[in-house]
Structure formats: C-alpha cells, structure tokens
Chains A and B, each alone.
Chain A
Amino acid sequence: MSSNTEMADYELVCIIVNFGLGSKVMHTAKKHGISGGTVLLGKGTLKNHLLKFLAITDVRKEVVLMVSDKKKVSQALEQLDKKFKFTKPNHGIAFTTSVSHVLGARSCKSDHIKEGRGAENKMYHSITVIIEKGDAEYVIEAATEAGSKGGTIINARGSGIHETSKLFSMEIEPEKEVVMILSEKESTEAIVSSIRKKLKIDEPGNGIIFIQDVNNTYGLYE
C-alpha cells in the first residue's frame, strides 16, 4: 500500500449477469482499466406465475466483483453498459458501493484524483443477508412481500465461532446462503424488517443482515 494517507475513493463494483457472461464482463472491464475481478456463481429468481407453478423460477447468474478507484470504475462501467446493455430488461444489473481500503491490488494505487461527481443518485441500498442454506427462498419471499423486486442467491459456507465441528474425521462448516438485494432507500426499512421478522434474525445463529449505501446503479428499472 502506498504510504500516502490520502486515498483515492475506491469503489466495489458488483455486476450481476446471466450465466456465462461473467468472464466476458471481466475481460471488458480489464480493457478499460480495472485490474481484475472475482466471479461467483449465483442464482436469481423470476417472477412469473406460470413458471412459479412449474417450480422453475431459478435462473443461473454470475456475480462479478471488482474494486478500483472511482474514475476508472465510472469509465469502465460506461463501457460495460454500452456493451452489455444493462439498461435493457434482464440484461444484468450493476451497482457500486464505497470501499474504504484496498490491500493487495497493486494497480489500485492511489493517483490522487478526487472528482466530485455530484450527479450520483444515492437512491439505493444494497442489503446483504447471510443465512442457513435453504433459507434464501424465505428471505426472497419476505423481501418481495415488502416491495423488493428480487434478489441474487450465492452459495457459501459459514465459519461462525460456534459452528465448526467435527464429523468422523472431517472438519465441517455449515453451508450458508448469501442473498443480495438492491432496494430503493424508502423501502429498505420495510424489506429489512420483513426479513428480520420472518427469519427471526435477532435470535443467535439465525443469520446476519447488513446494509450498504449504493453509489451508482445501472440496469435497474422501475
């Protein structure tokens, strides 16, 4: 890390696209100055009564996470938007959140550019919910009841201090699911409290919710 205490503003870019596009998104982003990214496999949900009846509401998604400074992010995102057409329905979603420090990414060294982009629409929140595997559906259900438009589910595993244990000769970690939901600021409260109530998040071991401010969004439509 540079010894400079003055840091450029870093942003975490999170792009959710249909399965198979993750590597392409990363490739394009790299061309426009972002040094690299991480791709996760995720699951989205569709809202459609016929499909719900047939129980085929899951869509495979890929989530791309990238960190870079603000200027590069906004450049890259504009290019990505042009190429992948996030503005069209179902072409993907991108949003950015602020990050306070980045370690380990060499090309992210600060170059002292601080641009006041006043045009940012801080209208959204990103809600992240971590729960036991299998509960993601309830989270999405609870969120939709409170006015959310959907969410992305990622498989994960947890390592709470009380939760690792040993079965036979294998150490195990409980499986978790991570649900990411973008919400408008006004409805965040309702969504969170709905999830909180339905999943009894306040009881120990039932899960964690955290909320982040979103700086920029692409591909969200009313």
Chain B
Amino acid sequence: MNVLVSKLKEVLFAVLPITVLVLILNFTLTPLDPTLIIRFIIGAILIIIGLAIFLLGVDLGITPIGRSMGKTIAKSNKIWIVVIAGLMLGFFISIAEPDLHILAGQVDLVTGGLISKVAIVIVVSIGIGVLISTGLVRIVYNFPLYKLLIILYLIIFVLALFTSPEFLAISFDASGATTGALTVPFILALALGVSALKKDSKASEKDSFGLVAVASTGAIMSVMIMNIISETDKMTGSLEHAVIDTTSIFGPFIHEILVIAQEIIVALLPILILFLIFQKVSFKMSRGAFRKVLMGLLFTFLGLVLFLVGVNAGFMDVGTTIGHNIASLDNKAYVIIVAFVLGLVTILAEPAVHVLTHQIEDVTSGYVKRKVVMSTLSIGVGLAVLLSIIRILIPELQLWHYLLPGYVIALAMTFFVPKLFVGIAFDSGGVASGPMTATFILAFVQGVAESIEGANVLIDGFGMIALVAMTPIIALQILGLVFKLKSRKEKGGLERNVE
C-alpha cells in the first residue's frame, strides 16, 4: 500500500465522524438550508484531500527541516548559538502565523486601536522566540521539563492577578493561536532533532516533547504583560458577525481560496528561507534530498490551503447555524450533549494532532499507540467544549473558575505522571487548539452564545480555546498514569520479549 492511500485512509476515518454527526443533526434536531449542507459536504471532501496532502508534506518537508535544524544547533556546542538560533527561529516562525494575525486584529479592534495589531504580533513573536530558546536550553542542559513548566505557570499566575478578565481569555487563546498547523510540526521536529542526539534513550524519548508547551506560554505571558502595561480594561465592540450567505454554493470557496493561499505563502516563507540559508551554510543535503524537502513544502502548502478553504467556506457557517438553532431549543440538555460530541469528533480532523500522534508513535517505537492518544484527546476536548457551553448557560461562571483549578491539577499531576507523558500532555494542549477548533467549534460556540440572552459572544467565545488547550493536559496525564500502572503489572509477569 503506498503512502498516499494509507494517508487518505487515516484522514477519512478522522473526517467522517464529524461529517456524519452534522448530517444526523441535519435530519433530526436542526434541519439546515440545502445550500449550507452542499457546501458542508464539499468542505468535508476538501478537508479530507487537503489534510492527506498536508500530512504527507509535513513528513517530507517540515519535519526533516526542523529535525536537521535542531541537530545542527545542538551540534554547534555553543550556548550562544542555541540561544540566538532559538530566538530567531521562534520569532520568524510565529510572526508569519496567520492565526496570530487574526487574533491580533481582534485585539486591535476590541481595544479601539490602543494596542495596535503590529505591536501585538511583534511582542508575541518575541515572547515565543525567548521561550523557544529557553526550551532548547532546557533540553541541552537536562533541566526537568515539569520544573520549568511550574516556574512558567507561576509567572503566568502572578501576571494573571493583574490582568483584566477579558484579556485573561485572550492571552490563553493567544497560546492556542500561535501554535498553528505549521508551527507545531516545526517546533516538534526541532525538539526531536536536538533530543535524538542524546545517548540516554529514555531521556531522548521524553525530551522530544514539551517544546510546544514551553513556547506557547510565551504567547500567554506577552499578551498579559501588554495588557498590564497599557492598562486597557474596557472591551468595546463585538465580533462582527458575518452574514451567512445561503444563496451561493461556490462563492465562499472562491472567495476564501485567494485569501488563504496568500496567508499560507506568507507563513511558509520564513521556513523556506531559513531552510535555504541552513542548506547553504550547514546541511549541504544531496540534490535528491533537497528536492524531496522542497516537494514536501509544496505539498504542505497545497494541503493546508485545501484544508483551510474547506473549513472556512464549508464548515464555519454550518457551525454557527447549528449552535444557534440547537441553543434556541427549549431543552438545554441537547446543546450540552451536542457540544460534547462535537468536541469529541472535531479534534480528530485537527492537522497538528495527526502530526503529534505520529511523532509519539515513532519516538516510542509504537509503545504509545496513536489511537489511544487520539481517543484520550478527543474525550478531553469534548469536555472542554461542554464546559464552555455550560459557562455560556450560567453567566456567573467566570473563565478563571475553570482555568485556575484546571492548571493547579495539571501542574500537580506532573509530579507523579511518567515524564514522557508530561511532555506529551502539555504539547497536546497547544496542539488541540488548531484551525479546526478555532473556526468550526468557535463558530458553534458563538452561535450558541448569540441565541442565549445575556451571553457575550466575545468573552464566551474567546475562553473556549483556552479550555480546549487545558483539558487535554489533564486527560493525557491521566492516560500516563494508566500506562504507569499497567506497565508495573506487566513487569511482574514471566513473559518477556526475545531481544
């Protein structure tokens, strides 16, 4: 079986559940406009093809680039090179992230221009650069990940005391936004490149993870610091609500494709340029290998464009409409159940999740299976969406009522969870909040918020991504505990592998 077929199969199983769910909802609770449904199906097909091509591209292009860079940086054996390279890589990768630009645009809008878009993009990118350096230095000096995470989250906690509630949501969302579909595979590969050099295979296994988590705290901190410095408490305005176009089937696709293609070119450019520089200076790959990487980048581009066009033009309006319709039903139990199931199935189609789970399988040589991680992740995200819907239904519930105990639990668990899973869990927090969540589920949540009286589309909508980034951390650490208990039992047995 060739790679293309196997990728298509994998992706099909990832996208079908959500498609089926929406179709079931269409025929039961909330009949949708036929145009919307046709667009949804076209969107689903685009997502399947796009995701398959994108994942191939990551394997061929982004991952080899990241790994070789990681290796080259570590082999320099000079700390200043590690620090500066980390800063540069982090900064250039995140400054081009389309999600960050969208988020910065929204912040610009709600602060009435007090915090300008350019300023946010630059400050957040610097934050990410600093933290990527910190994360790399951590790996080369063997400083335990859980200690670093506790220090970072303590800083965040202190900053949070001075941050206004609205910005609390935005800052946590920023961490999700910056770790997008392109940056996550790159950062994962970077960490893998550095840690794969280690002699101790257990250490190299667990150090392959955690860099995404460390990097995303950079975004949280920088947004919080900006808020504290500029003292903007008031949030004015609300998200502009796009008028749902139900007359045209192809219009939205054509409209999206140009915008998205441009965004992805800009986002890929820094990776391409960095690669070309490194190739000239230190990689010196053979022509075949070089061509393979370039082909990989082309696939990444094509795949991501198809995928995002599918999500934006086919899924978003459906999400909003479903959310709105179901929340208008008298029985609120429906919306809670649908939210949970929607979270459960949507995460399967998240690009970065596939990249992460494959890497987990590769690094652990199949010991931690993809399916197990996927299922745990999807339960985690299901709960996150459910919790954010409950927050909309009960206006007294504040975001920090979830975040504070959530992160306290997550950090407390790091002390007794196997260290491999600490890295995986915190990484998956950043990974779960990708383009699929940020568009489809966000649209659904905003649809719900719109139909519930007293709910603020802006605040309630923003907090959802923060929750999606948090619950997987707890869910996967629980999985780690299960693994720990299970392997302890097996060790006592007589059965052993023949080496």
Given contacts A56-B4, A62-B366, contact A168 B495 (CB under 8 A): no
Q: What's the Cα separation between A173 and B196 when bound, in Å?
A: 9
B497 at the interface (CB under 8 A from A): yes
Which B residues touch A18, using CB under 8 A? 1
- Closest Cβ of chain B: how far from A168's Cβ, in Å? 4
Which A residues touch B199, using CB under 8 A? 157, 159, 164, 170-173
Please determine whether A56 and B366 come into contact, CB atoms closer than 8 angstroms: no
Please determine whether B2 and A51 come into contact, CB atoms closer than 8 angstroms: yes
Q: What's the Cα separation between A105 and B499 when bound, in Å?
A: 9
Please determine whether A56 and B60 come into contact, CB atoms closer than 8 angstroms: yes
Please determine whether A170 and B496 come into contact, CB atoms closer than 8 angstroms: no
Q: What's the Cα separation between A159 and B60 when bound, in Å?
A: 28
Please determine whether B289 and A137 come into contact, CB atoms closer than 8 angstroms: yes
Q: What's the Cα separation between A102 and B496 when bound, in Å?
A: 14
Contact string, B1-21, partner A, CB cutoff 8 A, digits 1/0? 111101000000000000000
Pick the contact of B296 from A40, A55, A169 — CB < 8 Å?
A: A55
Q: What's the Cα separation between A99 and B197 when bound, in Å?
A: 32
The interface-forming segment of B72-80, B346-354, B422-430 is B72-80
- Closest Cβ of chain A: how far from B177's Cβ, in Å? 31
Which A residues touch B289, using CB under 8 A? 134, 137
Bin chain A's interface residue count: 35 or more
Q: What's the Cα separation between A168 and B203 when bound, in Å?
A: 15
Within 8 A of A (CB), among B36-88: 56, 59-60, 74-75, 77, 79, 82
A212 at the interface (CB under 8 A from B): no
Within 8 A of A (CB), among B448-499: 494-499
Residue of A nearest to B74 (CB): A167
Contact string, A152-183, partner B, CB cutoff 8 A, digits 1/0? 00000101000010011111111100000000
Q: What's the Cα separation between A108 and B497 when bound, in Å?
A: 12
Please determine whether A168 and B365 come into contact, CB atoms closer than 8 angstroms: no
Pick the contact of B141 from A51, A159, A169 — CB < 8 Å?
A: A169
Contact string, B273-294, partner A, CB cutoff 8 A, digits 1/0? 0000000000001101101100
Which B residues touch A151, using CB under 8 A? none
Residue of B nearest to A102 (CB): B498
The interface-forming segment of A31-39, A114-122, A187-195 is A31-39
Within 8 A of B (CB), among A22-81: 22-23, 35-41, 46, 48, 51, 54-56, 58-60, 62, 65-67
B200 at the interface (CB under 8 A from A): yes
Please determine whether B198 and A171 come into contact, CB atoms closer than 8 angstroms: yes
A90 at the interface (CB under 8 A from B): yes
Please determine whether B75 and A167 come into contact, CB atoms closer than 8 angstroms: yes
Which A residues touch B262, using CB under 8 A? none
Main SS of chain A's interface residues?
A: mixed
Within 8 A of B (CB), among A102-153: 102, 104-106, 108, 134, 137-138
Please determine whether A39 and B365 come into contact, CB atoms closer than 8 angstroms: yes
Please determine whether B498 and A37 come into contact, CB atoms closer than 8 angstroms: yes
Which A residues touch B2, using CB under 8 A? 46, 48, 51, 56, 59
Please determine whether B56 and A35 come into contact, CB atoms closer than 8 angstroms: no
Please determine whether A173 and B140 come into contact, CB atoms closer than 8 angstroms: no
Q: What's the Cα separation between A46 and B77 when bound, in Å?
A: 38
B272 at the interface (CB under 8 A from A): no
Given contacts A56-B60, A167-B77, A172-B199, contact A36 B495 (CB under 8 A): yes
- Closest Cβ of chain A: how far from B221's Cβ, in Å? 25
Pick the contact of B3 from A59, A134, A174 — CB < 8 Å?
A: A59
Which A residues touch B398, using CB under 8 A? none
Pick the contact of B60 from A38, A55, A102, A138 — CB < 8 Å?
A: A55
Please determine whether B197 and A56 come into contact, CB atoms closer than 8 angstroms: no
Which B residues touch A35, using CB under 8 A? 498
Residue of B nearest to A12 (CB): B498
Please determine whether B498 and A41 come into contact, CB atoms closer than 8 angstroms: no
Residue of B nearest to A90 (CB): B1
Which A residues touch B286, using CB under 8 A? 137-138
- Closest Cβ of chain A: how far from B142's Cβ, in Å? 5
B233 at the interface (CB under 8 A from A): no
- Closest Cβ of chain A: how far from B467's Cβ, in Å? 33
B390 at the interface (CB under 8 A from A): no
Please determine whether A167 and B197 come into contact, CB atoms closer than 8 angstroms: yes
- Closest Cβ of chain A: how far from B349's Cβ, in Å? 20
Within 8 A of A (CB), among B305-356: none
B33 at the interface (CB under 8 A from A): no
- Closest Cβ of chain A: how far from B365's Cβ, in Å? 6
Residue of B nearest to A134 (CB): B289
Within 8 A of B (CB), among A74-104: 90, 102, 104
Given contacts A18-B1, A55-B296, contact A169 B140 (CB under 8 A): yes
Which B residues touch A59, using CB under 8 A? 1-3, 6
Residue of A nearest to B367 (CB): A39
Q: Could you give 18 example pairs across A and B, Cβ below 8 Å?
A: A18-B1, A23-B366, A36-B495, A37-B498, A41-B362, A58-B59, A60-B6, A104-B496, A134-B289, A157-B199, A169-B140, A170-B142, A170-B197, A171-B199, A172-B74, A172-B199, A174-B197, A175-B197
| Partner-A contacts on B (CB < 8 A) | 1-4, 6, 56, 59-60, 74-75, 77, 79, 82, 139-142, 196-201, 203, 285-286, 288-289, 291-292, 295-296, 361-362, 365-366, 494-499
Task: Sort A-B residue pairs by CB-CB distance and give the 10 closest, nearest first.
Answer: A55-B295, A168-B140, A171-B199, A172-B197, A55-B292, A173-B199, A105-B498, A36-B497, A67-B498, A167-B77
